[in-house]
Structure 1
Amino acid sequence: MSNEIGSVPQPIVPAADYNEKGQVEHVNDVSVTKGHNEMKADAMEAEKMEHQMTVLEAVRAYPMACFWAFIMSFTIIMESYDVFLIGNFIALPAFTQRFGFFDEVTQKWIIATKWQSALQMAGQLGALIGVFLAGPLTSRIGYKWATLVGLMLMNATIFIMFFADSLPVFFVAQLLEGLPWGIFIANAPAYCSEIVPMRLRAPATQVLQMFWAIGSIIVGAVTYSYQKGNLETSAYKIPTALQWMFPTPLAVLMFFAPESPWWLVRKGKLDQAARSVERLGKKNQVNAHETVAMMRRVVELESEDSPNYIELFKGSDLRRTLIVCGIYAAQNLAGNLIANQAVYFFEQAGMSTDTAFALGLITSALQMVFVMLSWILTTYYGRRPIYIYGTLFNVVMLIALGIAASIPESTATRNAQASFGLIVSVIFTFAAAPVSWCVIGETSSIRLRPLTTGIGRACYYIVEIPCIFLASYMLNPTGGDLGGKCGYVWGGTAFICLVTAYFCLPEMKGRSYREIDIMFRRRIPARQFEKTVIGPEEDE
């Protein structure tokens, strides 16, 4: 019986010798071995081709894979938009005068500290629930349909926020909007890393950070135009309504997107996987037969059982889960929260509201530029050195921020605090943030990827929620009123992340998923990953 790649594989029945009672006495497994060897040869050829490709050759061979990775990454803009929107609302005069109180000390209208924290953590709490739903949902129905479910849900939840007329309703609206965020953030890095060849994994996943920056730019531009002289409800209603720009067009595009061929191979749908590969690449440059064979080889090395959360904490998958969880959690501990609260931080550093919004917009624009520059660095210099040196630089800048805030206040110290805050925000999106997406997409095993990215993002929210309360308390004049001195706190946490990454973060640049699987199973130390040689014929 033929075992073609375009059909679901059927068991190959070997020749057998029978005794006089009709019982099998001996099995000749030559046909089984032959079929396996042919598949392995095809798989080795496909992997060899991916290793030999340059970045430009990979782009030319897989143009539609780049396009669909771009479209899937665009879903992140909705979480980014809303996170920065709420952060900017806290500094928006129309919003603070409608829902806040007048502080006699600062002579400003402000939102109570507890509500500042609650509004900023509500979406994260909803997303925490969403990521746990995303893993099983995606494992069952695939990345494409799970994302479509999230987009339709997003359309519905925006209505609640638009018609909200009190802080508790805003809290509920943010909580419900967080549910689809969880689906998007769990699926996007996994899908992007699976549909592109090896050389494009870094830029395909790092584009997520670019869309995060674009979301903040849109919010900054919209709220900046309303922050001065407009105390009408339209100042926060219109930015809220603009969220509807994204879900429906994205849903239409995603309806035509190909499913991840890796997910299809896991489900045994080899003919559909081959068609998906053909849709992602150029037929004259991509051998779908060999590419699917490569995927089969990796999938067959893993367990055939249905994936479940318990497996994430067993054997070599435990280490992979801890790396993904750690890299996600570290995003909140190395300067990210200053970036997310940039406008409010600039205000507390002594800038006028107009200047604070302008600086926030400049910060977002610089972030987008530096994310694109990071594609080049990560593609050619790897993940580990960029992450470590970038985090080290931010540790120094955060401590410098704290020192500037400790000196008696003057125009010079205020400007220094604003400058250090801007530098931290930009460098975070140049090094640690985009590299994180790449590591997240590469580290998990193929079979457990939807669950691993989901639980990793859950750790992000579990760490972020208390950090939001802490950040709001430290910055708020009615709370800790630390201002730039919060740099000492975040500098300390960033240093812990730096030390942990030095000992635990492996280098996976230029590695196939088969090689990554083997190195984790062999328990290769993180600092030895780059030097370890894995032969093309090795499976264990």
Structure 2
Amino acid sequence: MTDDLKSSTAHLEWEEAGFLKADQELGLIGSLSFSAGTMFGYDQIVNGASISMPAFMLYFGDQDASGLYLPSLWTALWTSMSSLAQALSATGTGFLADRIGRKWTGVIAGIIGLAGAAVQYTALTRSSLLGGKIVGGLGIGMAMSTGMTYASEVVPPRLVPAVQQGFVVFILIMQAVAMGIIRVFVTDMTEKAFRTVFAIQFGVGGLVTIAFAIAPESPVYCIINQREEGAKKLYRWLYRDDADREERYSHLVKTIEEENSQREENQSSYIECFQGVDLKRTLTMMFLFGIVNLGGGPFLSQSIYFLISVGLPTVHVYDVSIGGFALAIILIVGSGIFLKNVRRRNKLLSGCIVNFVFNLIVGALYWANGTGPKWAIAIFMNVLISLQACLMQSPGWSIAAEISSYRLRAKSMSLGIMSQTFTTWLVTFVVPYMYNVDSGNLGARTGLVFAGATVLLIWGVWTIVPDTTGLSTEDIDNLYEAKVPARKFATHKLAITAPDDA
């Protein structure tokens, strides 16, 4: 174990001070996968915000004595079925990505997304509109699973956290753009208003298709499928004149061979993700991808509808929401600069504590009277969206992308995205029944439910989430094989390397 850790840690990737400068081109290639984040981010906003558009209500709504409304069941399906479709497609994407490669799986995802956009744009009934949303969700699940797998494989391990943070930033940028677009059309009562919102999905679907079409294939896929010449050609192109390309390539091959040597067959399977030490790694990934949803993310994403329902002006609610996404982008970029020395596990743990406090405050404000407390709820909910993205989603997804073995990465990442989208669907479907007056009637007290859930999340982070800062994939393989407690990964590594450094 000690020798294995020494050999992996001695690799240039963890000693080169100027790795960012040397790998700028590589990071740019990895950023092609961010197109999947734009597709996901736009859909997340369209799910909830489009039903608040008056033009949408006029065209697809029903009317009774009290005015226009959308049937509760259809509303629940509209806001949640895209996530369920994403969960289903993400689960199978790992198999497809291991068969035909990450590149072409991404292209197929973009094409499916375009098909879903076409159905939504031309839909004349609520049922056909919902069908288009489900088709689009299938493409988004494939794109997210493929994109995050590709981003974690095409760049060196030291760059994986930065690339995953970039992935989250692009999701937030597109969410802010989508919110701004809907804000522009919210006062337009014509059919063109919501049709334009749906038509923009052609742009994000096309972006995914083009980005993956021009992207080089993942070197991990090439090596696992015994296409060494293709992987070497790719490395020669990726690293150009960098003298250490052979060492980088040899280290990647060595890690994959060691992972394969533990199995009789080189071909991985989903069952393997739930066997031996890989079970703990897979469950940890699924926990990390679902942590924001279990902490109340879907409740916050429905803040526009919720805040309008308590009497706040529609246009100003959109303005506050746009500001919340802008703040999230600033916080993530700022944390990358000013909190770069804070370990990701500690950042995630602090994020869960902040989430508990904010949800507690939102819930307590239910008992305060007047317009002021309502605006306070709006501000706290939108600031919490930013803090969740910065302190929970960004570090959580970064850790999740690092803890999987190369051998199982496509399939375990698919299971992680499945967890993210399934928990989105589940909580999104349930939350309206918590706060709506005709069901649970909790109102802002819904925050107390997620404050309680966050207590369990804090325990989960402390117990099963490892600190992967400075660890290679080979290091993580060895630490899991040695059954080192997750919270002791960093200290165990230091204890091993300290005698050698001395």
> TM-score category by the smaller chain?
over 0.9
Cα deviation for residue 46 of structure 1 reads 9.1
Tell me if the contact between 2:303 and 2:378 (Cα under 8 Å) persists in the aligned partners. Answer: no
Residue equivalent to 2:396: 436
The Cα offsets for residues 425-466 of structure 1, whole Å up to 9 and x where unpaired, read as 110011101112202210111110111011122222332222
Taking every aligned residue pair, what percent have the same amino acid on both sides? 23
| Residue 172 of structure 2: aligned partner | 213
- The letter of the residue matching 2:247 is E
Change (3 A) 1:108 1:430: farther
**Greater alpha carbon shift after TM alignment, 215-224 vs 333-342:** 333-342
1:336-485 alignment runs, 5 A limit: 336-376=297-337, 379-407=340-368, 409-485=369-445
1:292 aligns with 249
Give the Cα–Cα distance (whole angstroms) in 2 for the partners of residues 147 and 94 of structure 1: 34
Preserved CA contact (<8 Å) 1:61 1:286: no
- Secondary structure of 1:527's partner? helix
In structure 2, relative to structure 1, the CA distance for the partners of 1:47 and 1:244 (3 Å cut) is farther
Which letter does structure 1 place at the counterpart of 2:13? E
Q: In the TM superposition, what is the alpha-carbon distance from 1:103 to its structure 2 partner?
A: 7.0
Does residue 257 in structure 1 map to residue 220 in structure 2?
A: no
Distance (Å, rounded) in 2 between the aligned partners of 1:348 and 1:445: 47
**CA distance in 2 between partners of 1:243 and 1:145 (Å):** 20
Which residue is 1:511 aligned to? 471
Structure 2: how far apart are the matches of 1:267 and 1:131?
21
Q: Deviations over 1:76-112 (max 9, x none)?
A: 21121012112111211111232224576xx663323
For 1:180 and 1:243, the matched residues in 2 are separated by 12
Q: 1:185-334 maps to which residues of 2 (within 5 A)?
A: 185-228=144-187, 230-281=188-239, 283-303=240-260, 304-334=265-295
TM-superposed CA distance for 1:520, in Å, is 0.7
Closer, same or farther in 2 for the Cα pair 1:180/1:284, shift >3 Å? same
Corresponding residue to 2:452 among 469, 481, 492: 492
Q: Which amino acid is the alignment partner of residue 292 of structure 2?
A: Q
Aligned pairs (5 A) from 1:11-160: 44=7, 48-54=11-17, 57-102=18-63, 109-160=68-119
1:47-82 superposed Cα distances (whole Å, 9 cap, x missing partner): 52111123xx22221122211222211212112101
State the Cα deviation string for residues 365-402 of structure 1 (Å, max 9, x = none): 11222222233366422210000001101100101100
After superposition, the C-alpha distances for 1:300-353 in whole angstroms (9 at most, x for unaligned) are 111343110110111110000010111122221113113322322332343111
Unpaired runs of at least 5, structure 2: none
* Residues 474 and 480 in structure 1, CA contact (< 8 A), matched pair in contact too: yes
Deviates more, 1:341-350 or 1:409-418: 341-350
Q: Give the match's secondary structure for 2:490.
A: coil
The alpha carbon displacement at 1:358 in A equals 1.0
Amino acid at match of 2:167: L
Change (3 A) 1:69 1:444: same
Q: Which residue of 2 aligns with 1:3?
A: none
Q: How many residues end up aligned between the 2 structures? A: 490
In 2, Cα distance between equivalents of 1:378 and 1:522: 31
SS at match of 1:234: helix
Q: Distance in 2 between matches of 1:271 and 1:46?
A: 26
Unaligned runs of 5+ in 1: 1-39
- After superposing the two structures, state which structure 1 stretch, 259-268 or 395-404, moved more: 259-268
Question: 3-state SS of the aligned residue for 2:241?
Answer: coil
Q: 1:337 to 1:349 in 2, by over 3 A?
A: same
Rg comparison, structure with higher value = 1
**CA–CA distance in 2 between the matches of 1:47 and 1:246?**
42
**Maintained 8 Å contact 1:402/1:486:** yes
Q: Aligned partners of 1:249 and 1:402: how far apart in 2?
A: 40
Residue in structure 2 matched with residue 4 of structure 1 by the alignment: none
Say if 2:87 and 2:417, in contact at 8 Å, map to a contact too: yes
Aligned equivalents of 1:208 and 1:418: distance in 2? 26
Pick which of 314-323 and 197-206 moved more.
197-206
Q: Secondary structure at the match of 1:530?
A: helix
Corresponding position of 1:22: none
Aligned 8 A contact 1:338 1:425 in 2: no
State whether residues 293 and 423 of structure 2, in contact with CA within 8 Å, keep that contact through their aligned partners in structure 1: yes
**In the alignment, is the contact (CA less than 8 A) between 2:343 and 2:469 conserved in 1?**
yes
In 2, the alpha carbon distance for the partners of 1:199 and 1:438 equals: 11
Partner Cα distance (2:160, 2:10) in 1:
14
Distance 1:469 1:378 in 2: 35
* Corresponding residue for residue 21 of structure 1: none
| Alignment TM-score, normalising by the size of structure 2 | 0.92
Q: 2:284 & 2:323 partners in 1: Cα distance?
A: 33
Alignment of 1:170-185 (within 5 A): 170-185=129-144
AA partner of residue 254 (structure 1) = F
8 Å Cα contact 2:8-2:474 kept in structure 1: no
Alignment RMSD (CA, Å): 2.2
Distance 1:494 1:120 in 2: 23
Cα distance in 2 for residues equivalent to 1:62 and 1:451: 27
Contact map agreement 2:277 2:481 (CA 8 A) in 1: yes
Maintained 8 Å contact 1:190/1:441: yes
SS of the residue 1:420 aligns to: helix
Higher helix share: 2
Amino acid of the structure 1 residue aligned with 2:390: F
Matched to 2:200, the amino acid is: L
Secondary structure in 2 matching 1:380: coil
Distance 1:286 1:90 in 2: 56
**Secondary structure in 1 aligned to 2:329?**
helix
Query: What is the CA–CA distance in structure 2 between the aligned matches of 1:352 and 1:325, rounded to whole Å?
Result: 38
Question: For residues 103 and 208 of structure 1, what CA distance do their matches in structure 2 show?
Answer: 44
Change over 3 Å in CA distance of 1:209–1:290 after alignment to 2: same
- Normalising by structure 1, we get a TM-score of 0.86
Please tell me the residue identity of whatever aligns with 2:277: S
Of the structure 1 ranges 397-406 and 240-249, higher mean CA displacement relative to structure 2 is found in 240-249
Distance 1:144 1:97 in 2: 42
